[in-house]
Structure 1
Amino acid sequence: MLLLEPGEIYFEDYSCTLSDNELKKENAKQGRLKLCSKSLVFEPREWVHPLIKMQFKDCADITVVNQLTENNIIRVRMKMYAEMLEENILAPYKFIYEDRDFYVFFDFASADECLSQMQQLKRASTLHAPEHNSMIATILHSRYMRMEFDPVMMDDFTEQIVCELQAEKISPLVRHQGKLALTPTTIYFQPFSNVEGSPILKLKLSHLRRMYKRRFLLRQVGLEIYSAEESSVPHIYVTFQSERDRDRIYKILEESPNVQLEKVHTEEMTLQWQNGIVSNYDYLMYLNCLADRSKNDLTQYPVFPWVVADYTSETLDLTNPDTFRDLSKPMGALNPDRLERLKERYHEMSEPKFLYGSHYSAPGLVLFYLVRKYPKYMLCLQNGRFDHPDRMFNSVRDVYNNCLRNMSDFKELVPEFYDTECKGDFLVNQYEINFGERHDGTKVNNVALPPWAKSPEDFVVKLREALESEFVCRHLHLWIDLIFGYRQRGEEAVKANNVFHHVCYEGAVNLECIYDMNDRHALEVQIMEFGQVPKQLFTKPHVKKIMPHIAKPLSSLQDKDTYKMECVDVLQLHKEAVTCAIRHGNRIISVGKDSTLKVYDTVLKKQIRSVILSSTPLSSCVMVDDNTVAVGSWDNEIYLYDVEYGRVVESFRAHDDSVSCLLWLEKERLLISGGWDGVVRVWGNVGRIGQALRGLKAEFDHDEKITSLTYRRRRHEIDIIAATGDGEVFIWDYTSKDLVNKISVHSSPVSGVCFVLSGDRVVTACDDGDMRVTDLSVLDSVYQKHMPAPVTSLCWDGSTVLWLGCGDGTLLQWNMLTVTQTSAHKAHNDSINNVYFDEISKTLITASEDKIIKIWETKHSS
């Protein structure tokens, strides 16, 4: 199929003999004649002979020869023709510009029937490209209507066809037409011609793992399917006649009980990448896949960045920032002088303006890099010719310099530059092809590598190390913003000097609405030659990577960062719901809606203190020293109680409404309280009798009641984070008393807030069951998960594990490094109001609406 023009259709073939005269004597060769939409191709049985390609547009005449002995001969009179693959050697096609008659002696087919088809295709070849395409599409549809799906090929005669559609199987530069039939258990693809290895492709629905809707040649008609490794067809990319047909198949597959797709959410993958679990290479491949980039479509081939800027040194120093390219700028903006000239041209243009007249990824650019690996693709794309030897990919350094200086060269890289499994095979002339000689007389052979690379394999390994290096980890999000993110289009793209021709942006052109065949064809050609901007995946700045390296394999991380939990004690101390329970040494201190404070000794296994502090429920408690507990109450008071002596040391009116939550900063000896009056207060003289009210250090106002508090340290500064009843999170700078940020995270009250993994990410949960991870550097959620029940409390172990207490009494354990739920316990019969982790004893305390406190022993999974 790669011997045909891109997009050319192969209809059928005939067993025959080809000769130079009608007596079947001179140069007679046995073989098969392929009937295609733009040409006839004769494939001889003996591989030493070349294939002969006869284009209909170069054909002077096709007629049936009436001999006395037989009438099954057609004469094809050519003005020129091409010879290909002589002695099966891959080389540029040999174009022979001379008149020549070819006589085709059919073994079985009827010459008259063949003649009518050939003459129809010859007439089509005289039309302009748009009309030609339209006529071929009509012929194809007519064949489709006549073709019947062959049920004999099915696995089971009793299978019922749910859906049957005309489709094309896509591979680079090749489109195989056929019928796609869907049964409750299997996808079948039956090609029109015998071009596939088997007459029918079978894909079991139970083997399906991933499905992606794809944009193909500016139209939303593609579907790419990946299967399990044991599948006979591990991957297939098909396109349909319309978006409606594609969506219909997608919906049927998605809803089929036999299809079990792997669910990988973008946010989950982003968080795993941010945590260092997913490598930069794998994350970029994932983003490319999400953005409609596939290795099966050269117009939308995966795009990777140039990351190294040093191709002259003897050694590659990955600790030196000068080794790397500036990832915050597109290739066209790296050279200030060139950029200035481009901008001058840009300002003189009429709308729609563009800065760069060529793209960073297009079929020709992809094959520029990969011509040694896929020479047939290049011959197909360039009508049987390779590039001029001086314009080929001869030297990595020269290509990078050209991308920096040339006024029309802004190309990025392809994944093969970083793919260590393929060992840099695209840099080697492995098929020993004669690509010609350069101007200095040297033959084009392997690609010249920089001095720091010992071999193609070493080159790729070092580039991969550079891609995963600390510098790239710190800056890769900036390049993602340009290619897949918020700086890809619009005003931000203009500011970033990242503007390409308007046609290459998704949504700029809707081919379905263009009825003029010439206009439509022109756009398709432009996309084939120019390239397409990936689908935009992010509309806000992308988050930064936190961990520069993957320290351990994923399996060992999952083992270490999961706790086995065992309930070792069940306490029934309160008469009403327990609102808060904490541990300090051997004591469990708890408060509840029964207005009482209870102290339980885990060694003696008995209650040692019980005191009614108020006439209203108590909401929260924290230890402010070894023996003193601070308690928040619904009567607006904070009580300080000495556990050792069993007495209230002090109480003071802290808020104008109920005290809802408390937080203690041991190092600074600060007590922070939040109230239903929408105020957060910081108290400094806690423990000095009668001095608490005078020690008010700060006061922060909010519009809604405060539901949860946490804090973070930034060098010498402290931020206080308050979550509210209207789903917002406020970040206050304690030193300056300024509001750093306010983020609307949820649509219902926040039930818990804590920091995870780094000081830049905060986890919140709310009454409607939503858990979110918000990155404070971009002020946006990077992960969202909807739990089956309301989340009523959160607790963080200070490392990687997060516990969520739910409204139905379930205790969920999450590993926030791998972003997976690792366990679920039915801990209580009612809502879990509070979860507390004691680092010293490695125990977890849960307090519930069901009046019960449970002590859980935790051990790392082995």
Structure 2
Amino acid sequence: MPIDEQTDSIISYDWISDSKSLKIEASKPDLPNENARVLCILEDGDTINQIINCSLVLGLNITEGILVVGKKKIYFISDLHYDPLKREVLNIDLVPKESRDINIELITGQDNKTSIELRSNTNIINSWPLKDIIYIIKKPFLLRDVGLEVMLTNRSSYFLSFADKKFRNAAHQVLSNYTNITSLDPILAKVLQQLTEYGNQIGSWNGITKANLSTKFSSILTSKVFLADDFDATNLWKLNKLSNFYYLMIVNSLAGRSINDVTQYPIFPWVIADYTSDTLDLNDPKTYRDLSKPMGAQSEKRMIQFMERYEAMKSLNNENVKPFHYGTHYSSAMIVSSYLVRLKPFTDSFLLLQGGQFGHADRLFNSIERTWSSAAIENTTDVRELIPEFYFLPEFLLNINDYNLGVDQNGNHVTDVILPPWANNDPKIFIKKNREALESKYVTEHLNEWIDLIFGYKQRGENAVKACNVFNKLSYPGAVNLDNIDDENERRTVTSIIHNFGQIPLQVFQSAHPSRKYEKRCAIIKPQIFEKFELIDTKNHTFEKVQYIKGVQDVTGKHIWQGYKFLDVTLIEPEIGSIRIRLVSDTGLEINGTIFKNIHNCPITVVRKWKENMLLTGDSDGLIKVWEYKKEKDTFILNELSLLTCHLNKIIQIETFLENNILITLDSVGYVYSWDMTRYQVINCFAEDGKFISISQQSETVGIITFPNNLLKLFTFNGSKYCETGVADEKKRVVTLQSLEIIQSPRHQYLQDVDYFVVGYSDCSISVYQLSLDGTNWEIKTIPILLHGVDTSKAVSVLSCIRMILFQQDCDKSSNLQLVLGYHNGTLETYSSTI
């Protein structure tokens, strides 16, 4: 039965976890035709434009299925296969082995021909609205040009692998019509646009050996010489407008690396060479590794050994045995999985590679100093580099899941990773210092040398030989074409070598990468004197308690502040325009004149803007709802997307971190929860005594004011505590908490000091607190603030909310700090200071 015909088959289905995934069960598991399954999962009004067989890659988990491109959404449906000749969808178990994805068996070692009896008769479906696609980029998979990565507006991404380049290109051609980067900031939008353009060009010539380059491919290859000069990200980095971390992530993406594929995970450099000192001096060049040399050349003695190996292999003059320095690689699935072995899903990847066992405890990643010594000095089979998590994720160094990792040869149980003395046994300190080192003057001015080795002109050829930077030939793109290997055993062997050994990134730069001059950037706020200035806004008086302070720009570019009472606020949406939200009853809202009744079963207590045209509402019973406000035909509707159920008491505050899809919520009893909004699932419970909450938009640091002791406690988003301090006494009480907002020009720069929290008190005074690392200890410092021009008559009104914004300019320009205070009587006061 063709896919576009109707069916009378009996189908039942159950929804799971969230509105983006569902599980479908067929009442007749022996039916060879699965068209009905596909038809029943389409969103109402959606139609099928195209169906392509592919696999979804996540770590070492490869799931076969079909990619259905509809009019509204794209759907990946597992365990199905599409026969284009018969126009039929089949259960994957009924498909001949030669038509199946061989990568599953090659990577996992498991037969992909699972019996029907053993397979659960379910399909897991992922669906993504076409309008949410930001960009798609062609990428290699196992050194074959068959991969495609899709990035969505919520910053999640998905990696798909196809049978061959033809099918991948067909999917790319269809999906590229829907990319939309207009919702992003201009810098990121421009970078992603060029990533797509250059990435698709690179995908068309990498994998072609130099000997048989056609004129067409030669011209493309030659054109890449100017990439370092014309690539916007490189120019922005040179001008100190992108952090080193952010720029390396861009280059990794351009070179075919992806966080979704552990065989091609992003590569980051070791930058610190001192893991034995009690204190770390980041101003001393001796603290750092030599970025002009690969890891195998950090030790003179070991470098000589590798060079002698190369010369010995070269002297054999064997065309089938190309000489190399290293028989191992700096990045592989095993290296990535071993670094992240304490975190799911990488634990599963590690166990898969290890045959289901953690293995000998002494071989596990268990010590930073020991790992550095092995990779840089001692071990001739270890030249590993690092991964991005070493610069932002302290939790990967902790055995938070309490795995039994065994006992080492000294009789010690292996649990958390052993840190260098200067980290004071605190992963947060290690990550902060490592990130400071990555963004330091020394690394900034030498990072281009490391890029030359990994992504540039010293990656291959005679320049690589001189740099002691040559690896096994099978790790280079273009060295072998797996599609031309007919013998299955030989293909399995070659793929296994590529998979286990590691892959050289696609070469991005054909000439020396430009260097960058270091300019220190910070957001340090010293004791400030604020001067009061008049508000331009004439609608600053609500005559009721100010609960929202909103900033807009006038025609001259000046910021105007407006105060709004509870649930009477105007939001601006790019597609819909101005949205006014007003409470019309305990359980109903009016949005742009349309009344939506009884959207909760009890009084609404909180409304919060989420992404695009999405809203969050909380009620007095502790239920949080996720809504989409959209236009269908000539009518605006409020569509319920999901329920967040964990609180049992009145929701009193919702704070958001949009870039990482994070929520922090607080109820009237004091419970504070964090949420993953890509899956609409709770992550962690921070506290049971919260009174006010806030989250830093720069670092994700969570601030909580507790009761009844009025402590300010600071945490990482994953719940690891930094420190705490008292913020009030018997004479005044805390009435609001807000983190400092930093508006950079441009964004994506590195600012060392960003964690500032502003506390407002019942006597209308305020205090500013900064999270600071004093040597090897976290502390919260108080920054004195003095307000000039205070109207003493305001003492009769109580402070209700605060916004503090730092307008960060370029290094040679002063920055402006603005403080906006809202009061119970509906007025605003605005103060300004220059730093």
- Under TM normalisation by the shorter chain, which class is it? 0.3 to 0.5
TM-score by length of 1: 0.46
- State the TM-score, normalizing by the size of structure 2: 0.47
The one of the two structures with greater contact order (alpha-carbon pairs below 8 A, sep at least 6) is: 2
**Which structure has the bigger radius of gyration?**
1
